[in-house]
Amino acid sequence: MMTQAFYSGVSGLKVYSDGINVVSDNLANVSTTGFRAYDAEYSTLFETTLSSASANLMMSNNVGVGVQVQATTMSEEQGTLMLTDKNTDLAIMGEGWFGVEANGEKFYTRNGDFLFDSQNSLVTNEGYHVLGTLGDNISEDNVLTKNLDSVAIADITQQEALHFPSTLTYPTEPTSKAKFTANLGVGDEGYETITMAASVIDPQSNRNNLKLTFTKSQQQTPPGSQWDVVAKVTSADGKIEYAQEDGVVTFDETGALSSSTLTVIDNNGAPVEIDLGSGYDGIISMDTPVFPGSSTADGTMGGTLEEYSINQNGEVIASFSNGKQSSVGRVSIFHFQNDQGLERIDATRFAQSVNSGDPLIYTNSDGENILGATIRNSQLESSNVDTSVALTNLIILQRAYDANSKSVTTADQMIQKALSMDA
């Protein structure tokens, strides 16, 4: 029994030393972004059965032979979110992990302290590449092929490092349609000539001027009225004239537009539809106060890349000098059947294992890939260590360690005394 007490105390020293190490590691990482706390779980070792025989019966007693660390389990509690001044800082609300890669090895982390490096790759502070889905809207010569509000999340086998070109061009979209709205009046109060204009973009990304001049026709055919209109496309400074078209617009007796022969004009190589409306939607001629014409036109001037940023949906956004933006990639969130089975590599990085299973991308009821959690930009998830609980556990473990230390000392003294008595 003295030997049993000795070995039970020794096992207690080892176990509680391991427990103190676990709690100490938690406390050491209380300020580590994305850190997951661990708890030690204990179990008794196999029991020894002691038997004593008498004449008529067998009496048995079970005596434990110590304690062991059964497992160290990861706490999956949500850490507190901290605001930052970087839109590339990301935090996950809910379950899941960011994927990162280095030298062909993939790891998983809750630490979203990311940045764009000198090559415009999204990386961690240690240089690990962040995994996600690239948009299919950048050509080989670094021209944006289409404007995307969102990039669809790819399947798990298609997740890749998020790398973007240092130079990216937003292509010119020439104006295809210009719409005008105005009341020309009836032309009897000195408003026989009315002008209005619209800015139009040509294929060379020049902003030109489309000017319409309305003059009430000298020959009128009632009912209603007729106006001559001249359309001109010139350079913004007016020094170059690219095209001129003449036409006639006709209004009915109520002033609503009934017809127009002016339909299209060339804008330095691109046709522009001139939309004067119909009925009361557009150009009218009514005996009410004349209001200056207004116009709207589509088309976009070309632009060059200004920066990459990340929004609250994990979308990587390219911003251009022409004021346009487009999503070009998306950070993904990876899931596992058993997060507890992940192999811990360091304070914040984990690797998949046989126990965790392969990484997964969640899907919705329509079979579409989804994040499965919420991403918050300009925020980081702090460590989920509860300092007060950790300190309390540390005190308990230290006292248990001291108690086992005393049991070892007492067992040793008893053994020494037994040996001296035998002598």
Residue type, 60: S
Burial 102-111 (b: 16+ CB within 10 A, else e): eeeebbbbbb
The domain 177-297 is classified under which CATH number: 3.30.160.270, 3.30.1230.10, 1.10.645.10, 2.60.98.20?
2.60.98.20
- Phi-psi sector, 414: left (phi>0), alpha (psi -120 to 50), beta: alpha
What is the domain partition of the chain in residue ranges?
A: 2-76+383-422, 81-170+304-381, 177-297
Q: How far apart are CA 382 and CA 198, in angstroms?
A: 53
User: Any long-range contacts for 413-420 (C-beta under 8 Å, 24+ apart)?
Assistant: 414/2, 414/5, 415/2, 415/3, 415/6, 418/2
Through-space distance between the first and last CA atoms of the chain, rounded to whole angstroms:
20
**pLDDT confidence of residue 406:** 61
Query: Residue 94 in contact with residue 400, Cβ under 8 Å?
Result: no
DSSP string, 273-300: EEE-EEBTEEEE--SS--EEEEEEE--B
DSSP string, 103-165: TTEEEEES--BEEE-TTSBEEETT-PEEEEEE-S-B-TTSBB-S--S-PPPPPGGG-EE-B--
3-state DSSP assignment of residue 31:
coil
3-state DSSP assignment of residue 15:
helix
**pLDDT confidence of residue 38:** 85
Q: How far apart are CA 320 and CA 302, in angstroms?
A: 9
DSSP string, 378-411: TEEEPP---HHHHHHHHHHHHHHHHHHHHHHHHH
Q: How far apart are CA 89 and CA 82, in angstroms?
A: 10
Q: How far apart are CA 116 and CA 88, in angstroms?
A: 8
* pTM (two decimals): 0.76
Query: Residue 334 in contact with residue 138, Cβ under 8 Å?
Result: no
For 92, phi then psi, to 5°, come to: -100, 125
**pLDDT confidence of residue 410:** 65
Q: How far apart are CA 188 and CA 416, in angstroms?
A: 127
Q: How far apart are CA 309 and CA 287, in angstroms?
A: 53
Q: How far apart are CA 319 and CA 170, in angstroms?
A: 9
pLDDT in tens for each of the 423 residues of the chain?
445 555 565 655 566 666 677 788 888 889 899 999 888 766 666 555 444 544 454 555 555 566 666 667 888 999 999 999 999 999 999 999 999 999 999 999 999 999 999 999 999 999 999 999 999 999 999 999 999 999 999 999 999 999 999 999 999 999 999 999 999 888 765 457 889 999 999 999 999 999 999 999 888 888 889 999 999 999 999 999 999 999 999 999 999 999 999 999 999 999 999 999 999 999 999 888 777 679 999 999 999 999 999 998 999 999 999 999 999 999 999 999 999 999 999 999 999 999 999 999 999 999 999 999 999 999 999 998 887 787 787 777 677 666 666 666 666 566 666 667 655
3-state DSSP assignment of residue 265:
strand
3-state DSSP assignment of residue 260:
strand
Burial category of 212 from C-beta neighbours within 10 Å (exposed 0-12, middle 13-18, buried 19 and up): buried
**pLDDT confidence of residue 25:** 80
| Cβ atoms within 10 Å of 70's Cβ, excluding its own | 12
Query: Residue 83 in contact with residue 92, Cβ under 8 Å?
Result: no
For 226, phi then psi, to 5°, come to: -130, 145
**pLDDT confidence of residue 397:** 67
The residue among 409, 400, 410, 423 whose CA lies nearest residue 13 is 400
**pLDDT confidence of residue 389:** 80
The residue among 121, 102, 156 whose CA lies nearest residue 346 is 102
Burial category of 397 from C-beta neighbours within 10 Å (exposed 0-12, middle 13-18, buried 19 and up): buried
